[in-house]
Amino acid sequence: MKVAVLRFPGTNCEFDTQYAFEKLGHTTELVWHEENTLPENIDLVVVPGGFSYGDYLRSGSIARFSPVMKAVISFANDGGKVLGICNGFQILTEAGLLPGALKRNNNLHFISKHQNLCVINNDNAFLNKCNKGEVLNVPIAHADGNYYIDDEGFALLEKNEQILLRYSDENGEPVVINGSITSIAGVCNEAKNVFGLMPHPERALEAILGSEDGVRMLKGFEA
């Protein structure tokens, strides 16, 4: 698999993301935000975490207009697979590739810790190697992860099985972490080729560092 990892001013998870996919045996290429095109024969575009443009105005709002994002939007509209992690999730919602928006955490804190997540839907190109209802342990690190969508949009998410993950306890019961509607931690688009989540699977690759659950998550894209 050939993975393009985007890089904006203020991105800081691009090397972890490259490391993760290379550890799984894939080739990766960093793509600077000023590029007008993506490398050829890309299987997956990852918009990694960080603080693009210092989170000015709103997280992801400036990065979303970078030249490379035009290429990503047309790649996604042609069915190409795109994954946004943390700030990448914020950028993809700002770009309109994913529904909803991410607001400031309801307790106003930057939350950085390992967190249990319950797999809500796995019939997609991302979580197909995880089981429905399974609890994964993955680090979170964000200030603006409070997912919001209106009632109509939420009903569509549920109906189309677009909710990927919820913050949960060790038994899979939803818990309030940042104020997200129904504790949502990740969603996909209706066509199920664009995925976004606040947790960092690329930081959960080694049991010795707390969790290796991220391996199965990222391996989903190999299918």
Partner 1 sequence: MTATINVFLKEGVLDPQGKAAHHALDSLGFDGVDDVRIGKQIIIKLSTTDKVKAEAEAKEMCETLLANTVIEDYTIEIN
Tell me the catalytic residues.
86, 200, 202
Q: Give the ranges where the chain is alpha helix by DSSP (H).
A: 14-23, 67-77, 87-94, 151-159, 213-219
Where in 117-176 is the site for partner 1 (CB under 8 A)? 146, 148-150
Residue 66 structure tokens: 């970078």
**190 is a contact residue toward partner 1 (CB under 8 A):** no
Q: Which stretch binds partner 1 (CB under 8 A): 6-14, 28-36, 54-62, 123-131?
A: 54-62
Antiparallel, parallel or unpaired: β 44-47 and 81-85 = parallel
N-term to C-term CA, the chain = 10
Per-residue CA distances from 182 to 86, 97, 169, 174, 217 (Å)? 18, 21, 14, 7, 22
The yes or no reply on residue 70 touching partner 1 (CB under 8 A) is no
Q: Does 58 bind partner 1 (CB under 8 A)?
A: yes
Report the alpha-carbon distance of residue 18 to residue 86 in Å, rounded: 15
Shortest Cβ distance from residue 60 to partner 1 (Å)? 9
Residue 61 makes contact with partner 1 by CB under 8 A? yes
We find the least distance from the C-beta atom of residue 112 to partner 1, in angstroms, to be 18
What DSSP state is assigned to residue 155? H
**Closest approach of Cβ 9 to partner 1, in Å?**
17
The owner of tokens 């690759």 is 205
Number of chain residues interacting with partner 1 (CB under 8 A): 20
Rounded to the nearest whole angstrom, what is the least distance from the CB of residue 99 to partner 1 in the complex?
A: 8
Residue placing its CB nearer to partner 1 in the complex, 102 or 127: 102
Among 124, 204, 218, 219, CA closest to 164: 124
**Which residues in this chain contact partner 1 in the complex, by CB under 8 A?**
57-58, 61-62, 65, 93-94, 100-101, 103-108, 146, 148-150, 179
